[in-house]
Amino acid sequence: MNIYVGNMNFNFKDEDLSNLFTPYGNVGAAKIIMDRESGRSKGFGFVDMENDEEALKAIAALHETEVMGRKLIVNEARPQEKKPAGGFGNRGRDSRGGEGRNW
């Protein structure tokens, strides 16, 4: 089961996250999500636990637990939402503000 962990202290490391869940069962992977540009933590991450029963126990035990001065949000991860193409609100316009052209 893939588990979302949010509201983490920005100094949290992958190893800290793994160690937090290990008492509840086998952790397949633990990953803090980092900002690509700054290289700093975004304050959330994901833990993969192989056994769903152990994962549910970990979620129940750790949700709203204070760790490193922050109250964690822990729940089953949802699939990532699709983002609209184009980015930055361009909506098909070229850099001059006109409609996109096929040159």
d(C-alpha 48, C-alpha 2), whole Å: 5
* CATH architecture, domain 2-76: 2-Layer Sandwich (3.30)
Q: Which of 25, 68, 69 is nearest to 47 (CA)?
A: 25
Domain coordinates in residue numbering, the chain: 2-76
Q: What tens digit of pLDDT does each residue of 58-95 get?
A: 999 999 999 999 999 999 999 877 777 655 555 555 54
- Token representation of residue 68: 């490193």
Q: Are 43 and 49 in contact (CB under 8 A)?
A: no
d(C-alpha 23, C-alpha 9), whole Å: 20
Task: Fill in the DSSP letter of residue 25.
Answer: S
Provide the whole-model pTM.
Answer: 0.77
Q: What tens digit of pLDDT does each residue of 1-15 get?
A: 999 999 999 999 999
Q: Which of 54, 57, 19, 13 is nearest to 31 (CA)?
A: 13
